[in-house]
Structure 1
Amino acid sequence: MKIDWQIKKKRGNFRPRLTYTITLESFEKKLAIHAVQVESHIPMIPGSHLSYCLPGEHERSPSWKPDRYHVFQVPYFKDGYTDGFIRLPFKDSGHYPEVVSSFKKLREAYEKKVRSVYACPPIEQTGSLGISEDTRSQIASGVTADRLLSLFG
């Protein structure tokens, strides 16, 4: 699985925008792994439809405490690709270590599942059953007699 992301923010009171793509490798798609999802460390922000956050409002309010977090999910194995974007909370520092830690959390959960599923080896079985020796011995004389009669009849 490959995860690529970018954080961009305009100058001023604009919120940063996280865009990301998650792409499965071909061998991962062939494993048919059920989608894995994790709760990220990235808080959902109030008024997330707004591209800006003024001082004292929403996440820039001294009383704001995050109570919900975004969920990241590995793409469905038949698609093998997903993308998305999240408006991040405004931070004066411009540092977002929760983005890296969230993607690492997703990767670790997914790789655990990959190792578990990969441990289930492929199998191929064939078989054949014929008449049992017990039945053969019980009906042998009748079958032989029928065959002999069919030669003369």
Structure 2
Amino acid sequence: MRIEWNITKRRGNIRPILHYTVTLEEHERELALPFIRIASTIPEPPDSWQEFCYPGQHERSKNPMSGKTYDLEIPSHKGRLWKQSLRLPWREENNYPEIEQSFKKLRDAFEAELKAAYDSLPMNESNALETSFESRRFIAPGVLAERFLALAKNAKAS
């Protein structure tokens, strides 16, 4: 599994956008890992649909944040590539240390699922059963009698 991300922001009052991609390797997909979602510490700005934030509004005001955070996700084994984009709060210093911390938390959750799936060992078991001794002993007289009668019939016919 590989998580790649970048943050893009245009000059001005434009909010930055976090783009991330999760790519599963073939051996990870073969383990049939489930969809993984974690609660991150990446803040979702108020009115996150809005691409801008003016001075004095939302995260640039005295009451800066909504208190909501984004969920981060890794696709199930059915998807090889996962692309997401999240709008980040405007920050004067353009510093977002919680992003790497959150992706490490996502990686840890993935690795726990990976280990659990890998610990489920493969198997290929074959076996066979035959008629029990008790059943053979029960039906043997009848089977032998039929065979003797068939032999006698064949001997008489020859």
Which TM class, normalised by the smaller chain length? Answer: over 0.9
- Per-residue CA deviation, residues 25-84 of structure 1 (Å, 9 max, x unaligned), is 111101111111100111111121221111110111111234211111111211122111
What CA distance in whole angstroms lies between the structure 1 residues aligned with 2:124 and 2:146?
A: 40
What CA distance in whole angstroms lies between the structure 1 residues aligned with 2:22 and 2:93?
A: 27
Match of 1:114 in 2: 114
Match of 1:39 in 2: 39
Say whether the 8 Å CA contact 2:46–2:66 is kept in structure 1: no
What CA distance in whole angstroms lies between the structure 2 residues aligned with 1:126 and 1:144?
A: 32
Q: Secondary structure at the match of 1:111?
A: helix
Match of 1:50 in 2: 50
* TM-score between both structures, scaled by the size of structure 2: 0.92
| Alignment RMSD (CA, Å) | 1.2
Q: Secondary structure at the match of 1:138?
A: helix
Percent of aligned positions with the same letter in both sequences?
39
Once the two structures are superposed, the pairs formed by residues 2-13 of structure 1 within 5 Å of their partners are: 2-13=2-13
Unaligned runs of 5+ in 1: none
Match of 1:125 in 2: 125
Once the two structures are superposed, the pairs formed by residues 45-124 of structure 1 within 5 Å of their partners are: 45-124=45-124
Q: Secondary structure at the match of 1:20?
A: strand
Equivalent pairs, count: 153
Residue 151 of structure 1: how far off its partner (Å): 2.8
Q: Secondary structure at the match of 1:84?
A: strand
Q: Which has the larger radius of gyration?
A: 2
* TM-score between both structures, scaled by the size of structure 1: 0.95
